[in-house]
């Protein structure tokens, strides 16, 4: 297999170590956790009610495509909402002193896509994942079934309280910007190697040495988007959806990240929320500062923020 990319070999191993996303099964419509309750997540209508004070208002804009540019002029027409991020100190490994404790959020929708602009200060641009180095990340969490009178657990949901978690990763963004896979020289300029398994094994036998790539972990695969569209029902259940619908785009500038995450209002998947102009939902957020060795459960997170979509 002459085309075997040795950088992929390394990145596959590293991605497997991070381990905060579960490999999708034959049909990744169910989180990885043991199913403790049979819940039907049919198309749940949003609640036509007056949004509470402090809600994030998604401005309706005219655009055929989802708004993905963090520098788009339309953001200047929106009102930003400050979000407080708190330590993740509920489950191990805890992160009692997170690097990022505040962010701002803006939102627009075009009748088909809801876009959220997430911005936070980060003096270090961490967009490479190698041994003992992690990338910056941010995630938006949306309840699959929103009820104004019964909020689900914001900490990745709970059994019977399924959530859709869309996670942007700086390392994915860097791969897309480079328009090529990283080589071993990109990651370790002075590395030397004598023999790789692909030089002596067939494709099937080689998989045992491919780490995350060998077991088809979606995190280890080349991606066309910098975001992972996932579903969860509590800690340890995060599962990458087989059908990826969300999208995003991020830039680091002047010591801060500016990241847009967009989700379709009418998704194909029953594991994504169905939204509508004039409707409401809630969103929660999480940030990882890779330069501070934050990864997996070592993150900062927010409680639910009400979101109201303009008609």
pLDDT digits (tens, 9 = 90+) for 179-220: 877 777 888 888 888 888 888 999 889 988 888 888 888 888
Structure tokens at 22: 């579960």
Distance CA 238, CA 151 (A): 19
What the block records as the tokens of 306 is 């009400």
Going by pLDDT thresholds of 50, 70 and 90, the confidence category of residue 49 is: low
Mean pLDDT for the stretch of residues 115-125: 97
What is the pTM for the complete model shown? 0.82
**Largest pairwise CA distance in the chain:** 66
- How far apart, in whole angstroms, are the C-alpha atoms of residue 107 and residue 60? 9
Nearest to 97 by CA among 105, 84, 109, 88: 88
> What CA–CA distance (Å, rounded) separates 213 from 128?
18
Report the percentage of the chain scoring pLDDT > 90: 65
**Is the per-residue pLDDT at 7 higher than 70?**
no
């Amino acid at each position: 297999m002459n085309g075997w990319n040795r950088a992929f070999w390394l990145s596959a191993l590293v991605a497997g170590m991070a381990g905060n996303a579960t490999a999708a099964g034959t049909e990744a419509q169910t989180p990885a956790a043991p199913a403790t309750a049979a819940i039907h997540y049919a198309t749940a209508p949003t609640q036509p009610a007056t949004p509470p004070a402090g809600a994030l208002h998604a401005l309706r804009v005219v655009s055929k495509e989802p708004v993905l540019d963090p520098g788009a002029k339309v953001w200047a027409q929106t009102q930003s909402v400050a979000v407080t991020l708190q330590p993740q100190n509920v489950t191990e490994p805890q992160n009692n002193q997170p690097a990022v404790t505040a962010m701002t959020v803006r939102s627009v929708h075009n009748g088909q896509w809801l876009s959220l602009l997430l911005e936070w200060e980060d003096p270090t641009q961490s967009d490479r994942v190698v041994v003992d180095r992690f990338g910056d990340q941010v995630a938006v969490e949306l309840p699959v079934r929103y009820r104004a009178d019964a909020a689900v657990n914001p900490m990745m949901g709970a059994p019977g309280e399924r959530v859709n978690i869309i996670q942007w990763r700086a390392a994915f963004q860097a791969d897309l910007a480079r328009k090529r896979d990283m080589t071993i020289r990109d990651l370790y300029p002075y590395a030397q190697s004598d023999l790789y398994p692909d030089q002596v094994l067939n494709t099937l036998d080689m998989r045992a040495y491919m780490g995350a790539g060998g077991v088809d972990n979606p995190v280890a695969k080349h991606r066309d988007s910098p975001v992972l569209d996932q579903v969860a029902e509590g800690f340890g259940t995060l599962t990458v959806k087989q059908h990826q619908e969300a999208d995003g785009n991020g830039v680091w500038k002047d010591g801060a990240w500016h990241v847009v995450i967009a989700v379709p209002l009418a998704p194909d998947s029953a594991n994504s929320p169905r939204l509508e102009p004039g409707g409401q939902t809630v969103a929660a957020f999480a940030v990882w500062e890779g330069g501070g060795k934050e990864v997996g459960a070592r993150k900062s997170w927010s409680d639910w923020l009400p979101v109201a979509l303009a008609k």
